[in-house]
Amino acid sequence: MRWGRSQLEAIAKRQASRFVVTMVLPWAIPAAAVALFWIVVALALLFFVVFIGQLFTVSLPMIPAYTGAPLANIPIGWTTYLQDAAQRYRVPEQLLAGEAETESSWNPNAMSQATNSHAAGLMQLEPGTWSGNANPHGNVVWPDTNALRIAQYGGFGVNADGQKAPDGTAAWPGHSVGIYPAPVSWIRVAFGLPGTTGIPYASPFDPADALAAGAHYLRHLYPAGGYWSQAIGSYYGGSGESVYVQTVLTNMVKYLSNTPAITLKSGSVFPFGRLLLSIREEGSGSASVVQDSAQTQNAWPYAALFDVTTPLYMPAAGGVRWITTKAHIVIILPLGHGHVLRIVAPPGTAIRWGIARGGKKTSLPAGALVGFVDLGIGVTTQPSLLQAFPELANAKKYGAYDPALLGT
């Protein structure tokens, strides 16, 4: 029997179809299903990373630009309280000053006028925050003043100036009659305020105690988010939080303006702001840097108040790393053209600002605030500042180096 061409083609097609059905499809369908499964998984992961992951992204408020005059309104005699509180709790001094300006305009007698609030004193802490919420010796109106008991109940009130009083002595609002800041000895005689005997006494109306307590509370709030702007928001903890944070940051910048970022003629930014510096060359191309306190006091008196937390600025745009170990703190700043400046500070003498934890690189623009260092104690730089900024050699004033002479 002879087959025609059409019959042969039909037989071939049937055989091909049978091969696909019996041999190909049993393997192809599962393979396609597996491929589809992994495509769905990949899309789901992409959705999580791009969309759901954004729910956990920290959005930090920018430090406001400020071109006005620096603030110089810290009451005489209180700068020591401010510095001591900043050092003790490792809080930026300018931030603490910005909080005091925002909360009370430096009025130690301030009492909150908000409904259901009994916040008191310079830093406007609520009685429960001051005394400890479970403390039976403090109440919703007046806080406990026994510093030992406050600490026992987890309150943030602090005896910062060593005053003592019998247990149960009130947080004397005698300041509110308008006598403060009269000499403390005069107040004691007139109103029976604390002296040198009894139990450590902590009052929100005492400027030293209030500033220390505010710093204590901010330091407590800081680790939860890892950024000071979040700690500021938690300090307020009410409606209008974002406006409050911006207000505090604005006031902080007004104090930062006493030690501003200085743009050099080369276009780079000097990292330490406006302080007169003593620089001592050391081996291996490094140098130690400390504030020349006496000369800074002569040249920039108000700037000298902030040597405890001297602002550290980005010399050039790029990535910055902040590495903390038990032995020291290492800050690596870009200088441009592939060069870097390594700053080594003793433990506990530098404070981050908006920098990622764990030594991760954070990208910032030139002139941005990196953190704060204690130039009263000093740091080591590598290379030497005089190598990193050669023009500094021509900026000596009173025997110290004054980067402000190099500003554009």
- Are residues 276 and 241 located together in one domain of the fold? no
Q: 221: helix, coil or strand?
A: helix
| Number of domains the chain contains | 3
Task: Please indicate, yes or no, whether residues 234 and 344 belong to a single structural domain of this protein.
Answer: no
Instruction: Tell me how far apart the alpha carbons of residues 279 and 256 are, in angstroms, rounded to a whole number.
Output: 23
**Residue 83 belongs to domain spanning:** 79-256
Residue 65 falls inside a structural domain: no
304 and 200, same structural domain?
A: no
Q: Is residue 118 domain-shared with residue 222, that is, in the same domain?
A: yes
If you average pLDDT over every residue of the chain, what do you get?
83
From 256, 290, 324, give the residue that closes a domain: 256
Closest of 126, 134, 158, 133 to residue 145, by C-alpha: 158
Q: How would you label 275-297 residue by residue, b for 16+ Cβ within 10 Å and e otherwise? A: bbbbbeeeeeebbbbbbbbebbb
Q: What is the pLDDT of residue 5?
A: 53
- Rounded to whole angstroms, the Cα distance separating 114 from 195 reads 33
pLDDT tens per residue, range 339-387: 999 999 999 999 999 887 777 889 999 999 999 999 999 999 999 999 9
Output the pLDDT for position 58.
46
Same domain, 32 and 137: no
**Residue 280 shares a structural domain with residue 248:** no
pLDDT band at 102 (very low <50, low <70, confident <90, very high): very high
Same domain, 47 and 153: no
115 and 167 in a single domain? The answer is: yes
> Does the pLDDT at position 220 exceed 90?
yes
pLDDT tens readout for residues 81-91: 999 999 999 99
121-145: pLDDT as tens digits = 999 999 999 999 999 988 777 899 9
The backbone region for 198, taken as left when phi is positive above 0, alpha when psi lies in -120 to 50, beta otherwise, is: left
Mean per-residue pLDDT, 306-324: 94
Query: Is 64 inside any structural domain?
Result: no
The tens digit of pLDDT for each residue in 230-247 reads 999 999 988 889 999 999
269: domain CATH number is 2.70.70
- Residue 62, in any domain of the structure: no
CATH number of 220's domain: 1.10.530.10
Give the C-alpha separation, 49 to 36, whole Å.
Answer: 20
Instruction: Give residue-wise pLDDT tens across range 145-168.
Output: 999 999 999 999 999 999 998 888
Mean pLDDT across the stretch 212-237?
94
**Same domain for 248 and 133:** yes
Instruction: Verify that 276 and 249 share a domain, yes or no.
Output: no
